């Protein structure tokens, strides 16, 4: 018994040390580079700054290009909130229907859902389509793109979770006179809270950190998102690594905070549909 406890304790310590090395060391490296002057930061060494100028670098980043970082955070916030809201509502509806109503179309629908995870996005046809409907270089167009890219993953999570909800709840609500809309939004949706939190956090981080999507479908300084601001501090001939790492630090903070506060809900949402019953 003691050996088992000792082995478990050793494994726990090793896991903590490995996690610290994998996650904390890169974060500390970013903080150190963000605190250096341009000459020290250009060496990209894991060392203390010879001259600490963390707040000076922070002010320079916030003032760069007429405060583009502020516009970028607003654009990223709007893009993230709207696209994730669409994902949650649509994926919950589709997942509920796929789980509750088994028809001959289900294999076809499941095929397209899985295809959304496997098939890479086609950039040129998507741009051509957005131009045709007048949504290229617009925030609504980018919101629809992000919602579409994340929909398949969300549907799979909701479908698995709905399978753990007893059908008797649906039948009782119908006997009480609830229609389809009231049944879903009044009975089913509140029970989906764990997976809703998971989808919100995971997809918010994914959309917030997306670089390629806005680069292709939402070009222009006025539409810049936080990931695109990295271009402001790195060029062909000159790179300000201290400001670049300060920008990386600012971009990293929101997803980091989200994972710290909601990691339990994320794990619960991802594993809730693994065992039915």
Find the CATH number of the domain harbouring 127: 1.10.3720.10
Query: Whole-angstrom Cα distance, residue 214 to residue 195?
Result: 27
Q: Is the pTM of this model over 0.85?
A: no
Q: Residue 154 is part of which domain span? A: 69-271
User: What is the structure's pLDDT at 136?
Assistant: 92
User: What is the structure's pLDDT at 238?
Assistant: 61
Q: 211: which 2 tokens?
A: 């670089």
Q: Which residue has the tokens 């050996």?
A: 3
Residue 26 domain-assigned? Answer: no
Residue 233 domain-assigned? Answer: yes
Residue 47 domain-assigned? Answer: no
- Binned at pLDDT 50, 70 and 90, residue 263 comes out as low
Residue 20 domain-assigned? Answer: no
Read off φ and ψ for residue 220, nearest 5 degrees: 110, 140
Q: Which residue has the tokens 């490296």?
A: 29
Does the structure show a pLDDT above 90 at 144? Answer: yes
Does the structure show a pLDDT above 50 at 26? Answer: yes
How many structural domains is the chain composed of? 1
User: What average pLDDT does range 173-196 have in this prediction?
Assistant: 84
Query: Whole-angstrom Cα distance, residue 215 to residue 42?
Result: 26
User: What is the structure's pLDDT at 122?
Assistant: 83
Instruction: Identify the H or E element spanning 260.
Output: helix 241-271
50-81: per-residue pLDDT in tens? 888 999 999 989 988 888 889 999 999 999 99
Range of lowest pLDDT (20-29, 89-98, 201-210):
20-29
Classified as helix, coil or strand, 46 is coil
In whole angstroms, how far apart are CA 104 and each of 98, 99, 101, 117, 178? Answer: 11, 13, 10, 22, 27
- Binned at pLDDT 50, 70 and 90, residue 38 comes out as confident
- Binned at pLDDT 50, 70 and 90, residue 274 comes out as very low
Does the structure show a pLDDT above 60 at 255? Answer: yes
Residue 56 domain-assigned? Answer: no
User: What is the structure's pLDDT at 272?
Assistant: 56
Residue 102 domain-assigned? Answer: yes
Residue 142 domain-assigned? Answer: yes
User: What is the structure's pLDDT at 92?
Assistant: 92
User: What average pLDDT does range 114-119 have in this prediction?
Assistant: 84
Question: Which residues does 217 contact at the CB level (< 8 Å), separation at least 6?
Answer: 126, 127, 130, 136, 137, 141, 142, 145
User: What is the structure's pLDDT at 232?
Assistant: 79
Are 211 and 227 in contact by the 8 Å Cβ rule? The answer is yes
Residue 189 domain-assigned? Answer: yes
User: What is the structure's pLDDT at 18?
Assistant: 82
User: What is the structure's pLDDT at 107?
Assistant: 85
Q: Which residue has the tokens 């990209």?
A: 44
User: What is the structure's pLDDT at 237?
Assistant: 55
């Amino acid at each position: 018994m003691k050996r088992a406890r000792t082995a478990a304790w050793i494994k726990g310590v090793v896991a903590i040390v490995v996690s610290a090395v994998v996650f904390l060391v890169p974060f500390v490296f970013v903080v150190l580079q963000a605190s250096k002057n341009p000459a020290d930061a250009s060496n990209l060494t894991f060392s203390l700054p010879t001259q600490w100028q963390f707040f000076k670098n922070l002010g320079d980043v916030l003032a760069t290009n007429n405060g583009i970082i502020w516009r970028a955070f607003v654009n990223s916030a709007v893009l993230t909130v709207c696209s994730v809201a669409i994902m949650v509502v649509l994926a919950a509806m589709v997942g509920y229907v796929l789980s509750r109503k088994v028809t001959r179309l289900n294999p076809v629908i499941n095929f397209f859902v899985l295809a959304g995870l496997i098939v890479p996005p086609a950039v040129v046809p998507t741009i051509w389509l957005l131009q045709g409907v007048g949504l290229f270089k617009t925030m609504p167009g980018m919101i629809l793109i992000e919602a579409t890219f994340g929909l398949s993953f969300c549907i799979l999570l909701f479908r698995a979770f709905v399978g753990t909800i007893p059908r008797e709840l649906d039948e009782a609500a119908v006997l009480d006179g609830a229609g389809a809309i009231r049944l879903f939004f009044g009975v089913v949706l509140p029970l989906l809270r764990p997976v809703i939190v998971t989808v919100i956090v995971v997809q918010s981080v994914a959309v917030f950190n997306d670089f390629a999507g806005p680069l292709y479908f939402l070009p222009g300084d006025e539409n810049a998102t936080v990931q695109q601001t990295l271009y402001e501090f790195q060029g062909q001939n000159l790179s300000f690594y201290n400001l670049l790492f300060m920008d990386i630090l600012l971009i990293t903070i929101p997803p980091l905070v989200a994972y710290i506060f909601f990691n339990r809900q994320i794990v619960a949402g991802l594993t809730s549909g693994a065992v039915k019953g």
